[in-house]
Structure 1
Amino acid sequence: MPIDKLRGTPVDKILSFRRNPDPQQQQQQQTDEMEDIPRFLPPQLLTEEATAKDTSRRMPDSDSINSEDAVRLPPPRRSPVSMRNLQRELYSPNQCMNVLKAIVAVVTICVLFATIPLYRRLRIEKETRLRMILLWNEQLMTGGTAHMECGCLVTTRRNHNDKPFDAVVFNADQPYSFAGLDSIKHTPDYYVVYSAKKPLSFTQNPMPGLMLPPFNLTMTYRLDSQLVWTDYYFSHPNLARRLNSFRNPSQNFGDDLPGSINERLESEISKKTRLAVYLWFDVDQNTLSESLYLEELRKYADLDAHDSCLGPDDCSHYHFMLIFETSACPDYVPSQMLMAMDKLIVPVLIGGGNLTNLVPPHSYISGLDFSTPKDLIDHLIELTDNREEYRRYFWWHSIYKLRQAIQPYCALCSLIQKAPEERQIRQGSSKLAFINWWTEYQCPNRSTTFL
């Protein structure tokens, strides 16, 4: 209503207009409000009249729209609801995690490409400092031509990558020749190693004729070798140092046995059902007396023969293992004897030399302590019936441990990794020292018969 018309109108009448508006005026007001509704709202939010009006106003006839009008049409507007959903999606935890993963992947790739040259340089430097050991006449157990051992490369190839060798090892247990040794590329302070695990009385003479041997380092079973080399050795449980002296067994050794060792010992003893086993050996002039002694033993007991005790048939169900040793060389312990002790089998040594300070006392049975083969068999049968006396042969497990040298060239590798002035060995590294070492050692003459 115009203002000039309201000036002469009483107040109560004005209030009546507000309480009871004119129907026509109310409809006009609703129409004006509908025109103010945003056009981007969906049709469901509009009234039927507003929808029809807005549709008729905003949706012209398709025939009246030409291409120029279509080009002039404004782009569609995104509703505030859609904008909020988009922002919520962009800043969601999953989206942030995906962005973080992408950043980490990019950084990783950059670091990888940056470290490749550094890795190559370090590998070249490591190969340059790598110590080389050449096995002159021995094949590797791994089946290949080279392998790593305690930080050194052990190989059988005499021209491995054209690098100089720090040590050349001759295995005296096998035939060898010095031909070609002068052409080997080596370092100025390299070693020519004389190695042997078998008795030296059976090895090749290293000084044929008047030729001076090239050896300047010894690595054998002998305790006066510069490096002592055996398949097995005794040590303390917590210290892997080789022992050369042992104490006498205690009466109550069972109280000192660790729980795991005691359980294993009881389990292995309960599995033993056979008396004794021995490994096959060739009968010739050197082993004729052992063969005759074995025939006497077989008259009084049923003895089994095996090719080996490796693999599934590890001979653990036998109480004793008969070991026939034809050599009596000092410091030599038959490898079969140590293998039997490792398998919790009591070894019975027939022949051999003095094993004092080489193995723990009362850990094996010596055939020399019995006057006849029958007395030996009777003693073995008696021990199988007396379980407590049989267990006493394993007393040494309470304070000692038998270790196997899985990597035999570690000691040599540790020696050549040191500087020449820091290498401390027992005797002079010279060819004359090797001659003295070889000539002063004598193996006693073996007896011709055990009977």
Structure 2
Amino acid sequence: MMLPSKHILIACILLLCFGAMIYVYYKQPMNILPYPDAKWTTHDVCTEACLDILTKENQAQILNCSTVEKSVQPTAPAPAPQQKKHVPMSDRAPDILILVWLWPFGERFSMDSCEALYNIKNCHITEDRGQYDKADAVLFHVRDIFNDMENLRKLPRPPEQRWVWMNSESPGWTPKLAGGEDLFNLTSNYKRDADIWVPYGRVMKATEEERTSFKIPQKDKLVCWIVSHWEDKLWRVGYFNEFSQHIKVEGYGQHFGRKVSGDDYFKIISSCKFYLSFENSIYKDYITEKVYNPLTLGTVPVVIGPPRSNYEEYLPAHSFIHINDFSTPKELADYLIHLDKNQALYEEHFHWRKYFVAKLGLAEEHACRTCEYLRSNGMNYRVFKDVNAWYSD
């Protein structure tokens, strides 16, 4: 029996709807490639809505897609490595501890001025022997330890600790240390071949203020000499005895019976046109405060010491007068008298002050420069085999 056509039409529509429902229900989702630079877990999928977002220029919208089948968010991409900012060694190096075993000649010096004076950071100076085992270096002033060498040789020393032989006296006035062989690691001295070079002073580039503010002080004396250490056997004494017969010299100090206080010392030197910077012994590089004091105070030093060529390694050639430039003490005296009468010629000895300035060294520089040395060469093994032989050369 045939069904009416109306019923057939309704049955077809129902079948089509049912088939459409089955198709939609069983349709498989579309797998896509992982989002660039994101790490997706296995089987993570994105609907067509998400796929549409992937084609857009603003790819970041994928993180806001609400139709991700699973709620696992992609792992954020690792940040690009940043270039490390360079930090100077002086800023990032560890602290360095320097132990002063005995104050040189009993005179204390500043223990916290390395950065202010020399821009040497993270340097700590102590006199506390309780920190001996922690000290990176120990400073031994030669003149203060030569009677205690037997005890020092028995003192246990940490393997990496440096013992610094420190001295500013000339070899002629420095005691040899009995048993000093193989005992010290470093030397700190005015000699240029010392491990740590610490001269009595330095001539440095002047600042604009130092250049413009300098004026030659008022002078009311021609030649001056402040001296207490007097021995007839010294070469400088014999030279002075003859020199002073040809020119007036204002003598001060214990030998001349005119003791000078600290403040007066500098006033006297600056009030003299020439100052006798006569060293007590003559050795290479031994150029002491006897020269640097008058240079800083606006007075021309007349020097006895190493050859002129050695002085000129550290001082402007026309900043001083060397006795070796004259055949006799009388010839030197005549030249100074000539300069006294000719102010223009005298002032030529100060032309260097347009460019440079003299600075007197300080006792703490030995400790500060030791810090600087250890920071630059701290990993290097070093033992000084025979400091006595080296210094007596």
Q: Same fold (TM over 0.5)?
A: yes
2:202 aligned counterpart, secondary structure: strand
Letter in 2 for 1:277: C
Q: Deviations over 1:32-79 (max 9, x none)?
A: xxxxxxxxxxxxxxxxxxxxxxxxxxxxxxxxxxxxxxxxxxxxxxxx
CA gap of 1:417–1:352, structure 2 versus 1, over 3 A, is: closer
Q: Deviations over 1:317-371 (max 9, x none)?
A: 1000012224221122122111111111100013444423122211111112222
Task: Give the aligned partner of residue 112 of structure 2.
Answer: 148
2:358 aligned counterpart, secondary structure: strand
- Of 343, 364, 367, the residue aligned with 2:320 is 364
CA gap of 1:309–1:299, structure 2 versus 1, over 3 A, is: farther
| Distance of 1:134 and 1:182 partners within structure 2 | 17
Task: Give the aligned partner of residue 219 of structure 1.
Answer: 188
| Distance of 2:95 and 2:376 partners within structure 1 | 12
2:283 aligned counterpart, secondary structure: coil
CA gap of 1:166–1:387, structure 2 versus 1, over 3 A, is: same
CA gap of 1:199–1:260, structure 2 versus 1, over 3 A, is: closer
- Of 373, 385, 388, the residue aligned with 1:415 is 373
**Contact 2:232–2:238 (CA under 8 A) maintained in structure 1:** no
| Distance of 2:237 and 2:203 partners within structure 1 | 31
Q: How does 1:98-177 map to 2 (within 5 A)?
A: 131-136=97-102, 138=104, 141-142=107-108, 147-150=111-114, 151-160=122-131, 164-176=134-146, 177=148
- Using the size of structure 1 for normalisation, the TM-score is 0.55
- Of 318, 322, 327, the residue aligned with 2:272 is 318
Task: Give the aligned partner of residue 431 of structure 1.
Answer: 384
2:187 aligned with 1:235 = no
Letter in 2 for 1:341: L
Task: Give the aligned partner of residue 71 of structure 2.
Answer: none
**Contact 2:96–2:136 (CA under 8 A) maintained in structure 1:** no
**Contact 1:166–1:191 (CA under 8 A) maintained in structure 2:** yes
CA deviation after TM superposition for structure 1 residue 277, in Å = 0.6
Q: Which structure has the bigger radius of gyration?
A: 1
Task: Give the aligned partner of residue 277 of structure 1.
Answer: 224
- Of 230, 239, 249, the residue aligned with 1:303 is 249
Q: How does 1:191-230 map to 2 (within 5 A)?
A: 191-206=162-177, 208=178, 212-230=181-199
Task: Give the aligned partner of residue 188 of structure 1.
Answer: 159
**Contact 1:135–1:154 (CA under 8 A) maintained in structure 2:** no
CA deviation after TM superposition for structure 1 residue 391, in Å = 1.4
CA gap of 1:152–1:336, structure 2 versus 1, over 3 A, is: same
Letter in 1 for 2:223: A
CA deviation after TM superposition for structure 1 residue 262, in Å = 4.8
Q: Deviations over 1:198-242 (max 9, x none)?
A: 212321113x36x6341110111111111101231122236xxxx
**Contact 2:98–2:139 (CA under 8 A) maintained in structure 1:** no
| Distance of 2:322 and 2:105 partners within structure 1 | 35
**Contact 2:293–2:360 (CA under 8 A) maintained in structure 1:** no
Letter in 2 for 1:282: H
CA deviation after TM superposition for structure 1 residue 295, in Å = 2.2
CA gap of 1:365–1:168, structure 2 versus 1, over 3 A, is: same
2:228 aligned with 1:264 = no
**Contact 1:329–1:352 (CA under 8 A) maintained in structure 2:** yes
- Using the size of structure 2 for normalisation, the TM-score is 0.62
Give every structure 1 segment of 4 or more consecutive aligned residues whose post-TM-superposition deviation is greater than 6 Å.
Answer: none
Letter in 2 for 1:430: V
| Distance of 1:400 and 1:154 partners within structure 2 | 31
| Distance of 1:147 and 1:259 partners within structure 2 | 29
Letter in 2 for 1:405: G
**Contact 1:297–1:373 (CA under 8 A) maintained in structure 2:** yes
Name stretches of at least 5 consecutive residues in structure 1 with no aligned partner.
1-127, 239-257, 444-451
CA gap of 1:419–1:227, structure 2 versus 1, over 3 A, is: closer
1:194 aligned counterpart, secondary structure: strand
2:228 aligned counterpart, secondary structure: coil
Q: How many residues align?
A: 280
Task: Give the aligned partner of residue 375 of structure 1.
Answer: 331
| Distance of 1:403 and 1:323 partners within structure 2 | 16
Task: Give the aligned partner of residue 352 of structure 2.
Answer: 396
CA RMSD of aligned residues (A): 3.0
| Distance of 1:155 and 1:224 partners within structure 2 | 27
Name stretches of at least 5 consecutive residues in structure 2 with no aligned partner.
1-93, 115-121, 254-259
